[in-house]
Structure 1
Amino acid sequence: MIKILGRMRQFGAVWALIDEMRQENPELITQQVFVILMRRFASARMVQKAVEVLDEMPKYGCEPDEYVFGCLLDALCKNGSVKEAASLFEDMRYRWKPSVKHFTSLLYGWCKEGKLMEAKHVLVQMKDAGIEPDIVVYNNLLGGYAQAGKMGDSYDLLKEMRRKGCEPNATSYTVLIQSLCKHERLEEATRVFIEMQRSGCQADVITYSTLISGFCKWGKIKRGYELLDEMIQQGHFPNQVIYQHIMVAHEKKEELEECKELVNEMQKIGCPPDLSIYNTVIRLACKLGEVKEGVRLWNEMESSGLSPGIDTFVIMINGFLEQGCLVEACEHFKEMVGRGLFTAPQYGTLKDLMNSLLRAEKLEMAKDAWNCVAASKGCQLNVSAWTIWIHALFSKGHVKEACSFCIDMMDKDLMPQPDTFAKLMRGLKKLYNRQFAAEITEKVRKMAADKQITFKMYKRRGERDLKEKEKEKKDGRKRRARQRQWGGDRQKL
């Protein structure tokens, strides 16, 4: 309960719960209760509140010690409050003898912030306290150097580790390889990998995954496969993440057959493709116009026990729309809504679907799709969703239907955006439909009064916004026309 309430930042409720525990079951109050609370305060960047927990603990019969202090220090450093953690450390180091864990937390925090001078100072403090850095400390510092692109310092630190008798492990080398791959220094990354093997340090799955990811990111897929084969020969079983790196590289090169072969290979070796893998290959199939292949992969995915996610539905719907398969697009959209997967981020898909249907003069089909959304219990349609639908209807000439749905929206206590109102009034004026105009105007006037908005200002703003949007569209058309003309001139040259 404390974890959940803390995550929701209901800190008053947390303290009330702890007080209830003190009255009814005081034996349940342990250090861990307060450690959880500290971590939640730290993640919320409420540093002072996190520190105050230390002072509150004795009131509940629980004395803080160096373990609790270490947890607080760690939480602050991991959540971007390393400066405050360093200040707290100086205040507390005379109360509790610092341990390697305390120094490690500070060093990690400074490295994460890119403050390498401060991180080095922590290393000096450690040595002054008679504590020898261990592999975790060195790896944190290596990570800091690598993140800052200071590879020379990283290599020097590797040598120092060996001199001190602290042999670099797989994490040490992987940190360097990751940074080199990130900056396309692939040959150098390979040299580090070879040095790792020569030193007798066995590469693990993470090391191979990092290398494969790096080579695939820069289009070196063949080398990625070579590393995959080597990894398997070394007795490491590849996971879905590794295959995903290779799959994305094939997707960038639009190599659908290679993606399908990779899926088959995964199934053969007992590493079943996950949802991300299927999403990638289905997206490529749809992009290349192979919608039937996308459907086949979808069915294969479901047969393997996987349920399509939001991304899968959006990919498939867009694929159908691009190929003009409107019935199939509608069916998948309604299924997505039925599964409770339609939320605000999918409004773009809703807009594309409605515009495509209305462009093809499939008004009833569009209404059916909209009613499916409106009737769904899991969908709380806001003004933005209604605006998408109303504007789509209006832009395709269905002015009366747009007005009718605008009234439905207002009946749900949602006020239309000013430019929507201005657009509808303009359309009704052309149709000489005064009855509809009067009904909508009266409703808007009443809603404006309830919200303490001046109707004249609302109306004026709508007309202004509408003109600005029309100007933006006009400028956009001119810009695209110039770009087409410029492209044609270049071809002639």
Structure 2
Amino acid sequence: MPNAISLNYIKQLQRNTRSISSFFNVADIPRVSCSYCSAPVNRDQEDEQEYRDRQKDHEPKEKTEPSICSPARIRKLIASQTDPLLAKEIFDLASRQPNFRHSYATYHTLILKLGRSRHFSLMNAIISSLKSLDYSISPSLFTHIIQIYGDANLPEKALKTFYTILEFNIKPRQKHLNCILEILVANSDFLRPAFDLFRAAHRYGVSPNTNSYNIMMRAFCLNGDLSIAYTLFNHMFKRNVLPDVESYRILMQALCRKSQVNKAVDLLEDMLNKGFVPDTLSYTTLLSSLCRKKKLKEAYKLLCRMKVKGCNPDIVHYNTVISGYCKVGCAADACKVLDDMSSNGCLPNLLSYQNIVGGLCNQGMYDEAKMYIKVMVSKEFRPHLSVVHMLVKGFCKLGKLEDACEVLIELLMHGNVPHTETWAEIVARICEEDDAEAIGEAMKEVVKVEIKSDTRIVDAGVGLEEYLMRKMKSRSRVS
């Protein structure tokens, strides 16, 4: 094939989508001079844009363009193909051209294109052909191949790729090892092969690092083999592999799942003594476990220590403890935790207030709950309908209909719409009251508030009408 081919021909080839074989067939390529005047143009058949394209094609700069059949051009052509089989055909046709040699980048591109489209037999054939060539193989190629097999859920082939690396006289890297371990342990049937590779890795010139140990420890913890995970953790120190925060967290989470929260706290102390700063997830794990075990004092103490130990408590930590106190009937203590939040630079959110209101209502502390409802809506939080209903129903049961109406007024003024059941609850109580006149005045205040189309008071009104009709009929019978 000539070393220089008119770019005009290339563009015609792309526009007319001629066959791939003609692209490489020298006999099919017309002789086109680089001189503009020697390339006649039929302007009656071409539009203005194509005419301008032809002018550019024949400018002198064409001499600086690389050959169409250069390895760089072939690689770009292969990379641009959406059909991997077409890319493979281009590769094969170019390979048959005299004195042509693909670049390693072309092999790399085609291998990944075939692998990602699950044409594994074609991919492996090209990989095998690389063994007889004197290319410098990039280790990253095998990292991609391993990940391709992982994405295809083929752990056995991913493991085989590790040994393929050795066939190319390439020293496996820790990235290869960790990638394969991640893929293997994701399938419980391959936990043992993963462990075997982990233990034998040093024979192949690669030593497990902290991430390798963490992968295996997490896998054994999730498999319920906590003792093996602990053995690996202790083995790290013997191998001069320094554990990290994640190493400790993996064990703490496993201990908490086993309800061994005291051991998890001891592990935290050991972590702190060794100079590690636990991350927020480690604290969340311990706080949640302590609250589930109803060890609220220990949880609150740990919450207070966090900032001293270099980890500022966030909203998740505070809400965990608040929820724990409310669940065991200690809403007053939960209120204290809520007060601590602002002083530590953490603002309560909707969940914080809803936990408090729900906890206070469960203990019959409706007046305090009403106060927090007012704080919520003043901060433009929209309380859940169930929380509002719980508070209104509580006031109604105690006969404090004025307070119930006051809650509704507060909600309506801030654009919050109570549920139909909440309206029905309070309207029914008003109708049962002997002193209906006094309660009626409070209800008028509710009605004075601007009620939107979705307020749902109409639904409650229908029930009220039926209730009043029945009551009137019963009175007429008595008289």
1:109 to 1:156, Cα distance in 2 relative to 1, 3 A: closer
Q: 2:458 — aligned with what?
A: 459
Number of residue pairs the alignment of both structures matches:
360
Which letter does structure 1 place at the counterpart of 2:361? L
Q: 2:223 — aligned with what?
A: 218
Q: Does 2:186 correspond to 1:182?
A: yes
2:452 to 447, 450, 458: 447
Offset at 1:395? Answer: 2.7
Q: Does 2:435 correspond to 1:435?
A: no
Matches of 1:105 and 1:333, distance apart in 2: 60
Offset at 1:120? Answer: 6.2
Of 422-431 and 162-171, deviating more is 422-431
Q: 2:142 — aligned with what?
A: 138
**Superposed CA offset, 1:137-190 (max 9, x none):** 211221221343312322332232222223322122222222232222432221
**Superposed CA offset, 1:401-429 (max 9, x none):** 23212222222234444554444434433
Matches of 2:107 and 2:388, distance apart in 1: 60
Matches of 2:108 and 2:372, distance apart in 1: 59
2:314 and 2:346 in contact (8 A); partners too: no
Matches of 1:407 and 1:281, distance apart in 2: 42
Which letter does structure 1 place at the counterpart of 2:231? E
Offset at 1:255? Answer: 0.6
For residues 24-35 of structure 1, what are the structure 2 equivalents within 5 Å? none
1:172 to 1:215, Cα distance in 2 relative to 1, 3 A: same
1:278 to 272, 276, 283: 283
Which letter does structure 1 place at the counterpart of 2:412? M
1:359 to 362, 370, 374: 362
SS at match of 2:268: helix
Matches of 1:203 and 1:258, distance apart in 2: 27
SS at match of 1:307: coil
* Sequence identity (%): 16
For residues 101-116 of structure 1, what are the structure 2 equivalents within 5 Å? 107=112, 111=116, 115-116=117-118
Q: 1:342 — aligned with what?
A: 348
Offset at 1:217? Answer: 1.7
Which letter does structure 2 place at the counterpart of 1:355? G
1:237 to 1:120, Cα distance in 2 relative to 1, 3 A: farther
1:227 to 219, 229, 232: 232
Q: 1:20 — aligned with what?
A: none
Matches of 1:100 and 1:336, distance apart in 2: 57
Q: 2:392 — aligned with what?
A: 394
1:163 to 147, 164, 167: 167
Which letter does structure 1 place at the counterpart of 2:265? K
2:361 and 2:369 in contact (8 A); partners too: yes
1:117 to 106, 116, 119: 119
Q: Does 2:237 correspond to 1:239?
A: no
Q: 2:310 — aligned with what?
A: 305
SS at match of 2:119: helix
Q: 1:59 — aligned with what?
A: none
Return the TM-score normalized by structure 2.
0.64
2:278 and 2:311 in contact (8 A); partners too: no
User: Bigger radius of gyration, 1 or 2?
Assistant: 2
**Superposed CA offset, 1:69-128 (max 9, x none):** xxxxxxxxxxxxxxx98649999x99xx998499669949975xxx53389659959989
Which letter does structure 1 place at the counterpart of 2:239? Q
1:119 to 1:273, Cα distance in 2 relative to 1, 3 A: farther
1:351 and 1:388 in contact (8 A); partners too: no
Offset at 1:252? Answer: 0.5
1:386 to 1:245, Cα distance in 2 relative to 1, 3 A: closer
Matches of 1:428 and 1:289, distance apart in 2: 41
Which letter does structure 1 place at the counterpart of 2:446? I
More helix by share: 1
1:150 to 141, 144, 154: 154
Which letter does structure 2 place at the counterpart of 1:429? C
2:277 and 2:310 in contact (8 A); partners too: no
Matches of 1:85 and 1:364, distance apart in 2: 70
1:358 and 1:396 in contact (8 A); partners too: yes
Matches of 1:119 and 1:442, distance apart in 2: 77
Matches of 2:107 and 2:319, distance apart in 1: 47
Matches of 2:327 and 2:299, distance apart in 1: 13
RMSD (Å), alpha carbons:
3.9
Which letter does structure 2 place at the counterpart of 1:165? N
User: Runs of 5+ in structure 2 lacking a partner?
Assistant: 1-78, 92-101, 464-479
1:333 and 1:369 in contact (8 A); partners too: no
Which letter does structure 1 place at the counterpart of 2:360? L
Which letter does structure 1 place at the counterpart of 2:146? L
1:363 to 1:204, Cα distance in 2 relative to 1, 3 A: same
Matches of 1:152 and 1:158, distance apart in 2: 10
SS at match of 2:334: helix
Q: Does 2:312 correspond to 1:317?
A: no
Return the TM-score normalized by structure 1.
0.62
Matches of 1:403 and 1:179, distance apart in 2: 60
Offset at 1:326? Answer: 2.1
Which letter does structure 1 place at the counterpart of 2:380? Q
SS at match of 2:359: helix
Q: 2:268 — aligned with what?
A: 263
Q: 1:10 — aligned with what?
A: none
Q: 2:475 — aligned with what?
A: none
1:98 to 1:198, Cα distance in 2 relative to 1, 3 A: closer
